[in-house]
Amino acid sequence: MPIYDAPVDDVLFLLNDVFHIERYSNLPGFADASPDIVEAILGEAGKYCREVLLPLNRVGDIEGCRHHEDGRVTTPAGFKAAYKQYAEGGWMGISATPEFGGQGLPSALTIVINEFLVSANMAFAMYPGLTQGAIAALLVHASPELRAKYLPKMVGGDWTGTMNLTEPHCGTDLGMLRTKAVPQGDGSYKMTGTKIFISAGEHDLTENIIHLVLARIDGAPAGTRGTTLFVVPKFLINADGSPGAHNNVSCGSIEEKMGIHGNSTAVLNYDGALGWVVGEENRGLPAMFTMMNEARLGVGVQGLGMSEVAYQNAAAYAKDRLQGRALTGPKFPDKPADPIIVHPDVRRTLMTIRAFNEAARALVIWTALRGDVAHRSEDAKDREAADDHMGLLTPVIKGVLTDQGFANTVMAQQIYGGHGYISEHGMEQFVRDARIAMIYEGTNGIQALDLVGRKLGRNGGRAVMAFFNEVGAFIKENGTDAMKPYVGPLGAALGQLQQATMWFAQNGLAKPDNAGAGSTDYMHMFGLVALGYMWAQIAKAAQEKLAAGASGAEARLNARLVTGRFFMERMLPETAAQLARIQSGADSTMALPAEMF
């Protein structure tokens, strides 16, 4: 069976030494997140993931969810008990507002815990992950009455939530949706239509499921301007808050799919189900985007989580598997062969995954902390800057972390040779599960277009200029000899990213295909620079801690410095190739007539 240990020490180093979580103590909830409390919470989360969720990962993959003739869906053996333990532990609402029963701790902690959950059991992690997104949307956009009705049970984990966007004839183009909402005169609407690919859309984990459904009210304008968000419970709510009569929403089927078998991907049929408006009529997308952005960050974390568990298993295998001799001569002459960890190409593979994981985790935590500022700060300028950061980095985190996270599971599988192809070691499941993250919540090509087409020019380029200025200032302020191996390559890559940004400004407006053809390269280029910035900060913190005499931690700190140097030397230089591809424009990409494909 695969192994997994939550990287608690790495998270604590990032929170305490790199990002200095104590600097956020003026924000609500942070004063309660003392170092000992955070360490205890993360330790317990890691234990739950290792002891409860990890053993169920293969069970869920083999058994999958089962759809019954009466429309019910049952989850794999052990999932229901594991979810009960999750809910009773208070994990769902760890960062939710105390007003509705949450603990009010920093959202950054929930993001970290979700990484642990994904590594241990991605299919299971999707049930609470989607609920947390639904909670966020209701908290921001729902009326006080709807919040009071639904949030306490959702925050407590008694009920789960979903996001209903996609229909059989439309995916990302939500202006084409056909699900209808007919007003009933009492504030409710009758919903009719079919939604597909609804993760966690039907299951037996909780007594009720709260669907957030995007639909069109009769007579609404065409396109996305005519969409409205509704809350539609599986069971209507009695006056005492308990689930009552079945609402007319049913599961027509669940998808037979490549991976994440333990999560039910449902076709949901609405046949006069009652729903209530969340936010404003014909303003459904802004309300849904709250949940979508939460989901996109969560999916980025899935890429990281799968990369981490794949790395841990590949590294352990490489230290045990005997095959061949080191190029410089036998390292274990008493054994019939050396472990494959001695081979440079195996090390290159493992170092590539490791260097990504540590920087990606930093990028996620940095962004999560900025999200806490955006939602909790009383300073309007701080909130604005943090919101800019979230808007800019969300497509990067979703696109880059899932693209590279999948690639890393494939590389980790390669370490096993033929053993990686069979199910016994679990590596092929990691590959299959990780693949979906590149597709849902907006395919990664859409994320790249969002970054180039919308986020760069938003508010006159305010967000991207703030990012450039922050990274540039860090490079300027840290030009010491010790930091040169990190800030030197970072400065070169930042300059190339700025060149690419200017090229789009000069060549993308008049000829939009230039922006479209270069958008994915730009997204990955931006991601590499952001990861490089994380490594520079990690290196600085490690050097400072070593200089202060970090007793017992020297080996781990020096390992971070070596890994950061590997990233700068072997991974960050890809920005030069990305710049060349971007500047080549769209001519060759768009030249072939469609019939020649």
DSSP sequence for 391-428: HHHHHHHHHHHHHHHHHHHHHHHHHTGGGGTSGGGSHH
Strands 235-237 and 228-233: unpaired
- Of residues 287 and 108, more confidently modeled: 108
Q: Once rounded to an integer, what is the mean pLDDT over residues 549-556?
A: 87
Class of domain 160-282: mainly beta
Homologous superfamily (CATH) of 8-144 is: Acyl-CoA dehydrogenase/oxidase, N-terminal domain (1.10.540.10)
Residue 286: which pLDDT band, with cuts at 50, 70 and 90?
confident
User: Over the chain, what is the mean pLDDT?
Assistant: 95
Q: Write the CA distances from 415 to 12, 81, 418, 427, integer angstroms.
A: 29, 35, 9, 10
Instruction: Tell me which residue has tokens 């956009």.
Output: 141
Cβ-count burial 382-414 (b if 16+ within 10 Å, e if not): beebbbbbbbbbbbbbbbbbbbbbbbbbebbbe
In the chain, CATH 2.40.110.20 sits at 160-282
User: pLDDT tens digits, residue range 448-468?
Assistant: 999 999 999 999 999 999 999
Look at residues 192, 378, 372 and name the one whose alpha carbon lies nearest to residue 297.
372
Tokens of 50: 């290792």
Quote the pLDDT of residue 283: 87
Look at residues 532, 523, 533, 529 and name the one whose alpha carbon lies nearest to residue 581.
523
Phi, psi of 263 (to 5 degrees): -110, 135
Q: Once rounded to an integer, what is the mean pLDDT over residues 380-392?
A: 96
Q: Is 441 part of the annotated catalytic residue set?
A: yes
Which of the following is catalytic: 441, 477, 544, 595?
441
Quote the pLDDT of residue 326: 94
Rounded CA-CA distance 346/49 in Å is 28
Q: Once rounded to an integer, what is the mean pLDDT over residues 115-130?
A: 97
Whether the per-residue pLDDT at 175 is higher than 80: the answer is no
Rounded CA-CA distance 262/113 in Å is 19
Quote the pLDDT of residue 80: 98
Q: Read off the pTM.
A: 0.96
Whether the per-residue pLDDT at 224 is higher than 90: the answer is no
Q: Once rounded to an integer, what is the mean pLDDT over residues 23-39?
A: 95
Residues in a beta bridge with 194 = 269
Question: From its phi and psi, is residue 135 left (phi > 0), alpha (psi between -120 and 50) or beta?
Answer: alpha
143's CB contacts (< 8 A; 6+ apart) are none
157's CB contacts (< 8 A; 6+ apart) are 83, 86, 87, 88, 90, 91, 92, 93, 128, 131, 206
Output the CA torsion 481→486→487→490 (10° steps): 160
Contact indicator for 100, 25 with CB cutoff of 8 Å:
no
Give the helix ranges, DSSP H, for 321-379.
344-376
Residue 249: which pLDDT band, with cuts at 50, 70 and 90?
very high
Contact indicator for 345, 157 with CB cutoff of 8 Å:
no
Q: What residue ranges in 35-170 does DSSP mark as E strands?
A: 66-67, 73-74, 159-164
Q: Once rounded to an integer, what is the mean pLDDT over residues 313-324?
A: 97
Rounded CA-CA distance 90/113 in Å is 12
Whether the per-residue pLDDT at 285 is higher than 90: the answer is no
Quote the pLDDT of residue 509: 84
User: pLDDT tens digits, residue range 9-26?
Assistant: 999 999 999 999 999 999
Phi, psi of 2 (to 5 degrees): -60, 155
Strands 180-183 and 228-233: unpaired
Residue 295: which pLDDT band, with cuts at 50, 70 and 90?
confident
Question: From its phi and psi, is residue 265 left (phi > 0), alpha (psi between -120 and 50) or beta?
Answer: beta
Q: Once rounded to an integer, what is the mean pLDDT over residues 375-386?
A: 96
Phi, psi of 330 (to 5 degrees): -55, 135
Neighbours of 305 (CB within 10 A): 33
Q: Once rounded to an integer, what is the mean pLDDT over residues 494-508?
A: 96
Residue 550: which pLDDT band, with cuts at 50, 70 and 90?
confident
Whether the per-residue pLDDT at 173 is higher than 90: the answer is no
Quote the pLDDT of residue 170: 81
Length of the chain: 597
Whether the per-residue pLDDT at 169 is higher than 90: the answer is no
Quote the pLDDT of residue 228: 94
Output the CA torsion 490→492→495→499 (10° steps): -130
Name which of 19-28, 263-272, 423-432, 542-551 the model is least confident about: 542-551
Quote the pLDDT of residue 287: 77
Whether the per-residue pLDDT at 372 is higher than 80: the answer is yes
In the chain, CATH 1.10.540.10 sits at 8-144
Tokens of 109: 């902690």
Contact indicator for 197, 166 with CB cutoff of 8 Å:
yes
DSSP 273: E
Whether the per-residue pLDDT at 174 is higher than 90: the answer is no
Residue 1: which pLDDT band, with cuts at 50, 70 and 90?
confident
Q: Provide Rg for the chain, Cα atoms.
A: 24
> 3-state class of 308 per DSSP?
helix
Look at residues 153, 173, 154 and name the one whose alpha carbon lies nearest to residue 165.
173
User: pLDDT tens digits, residue range 64-94?
Assistant: 999 999 999 999 999 999 999 999 999 999 9
Q: Write the CA distances from 171 to 53, 178, 362, 398, integer angstroms.
A: 32, 12, 32, 17
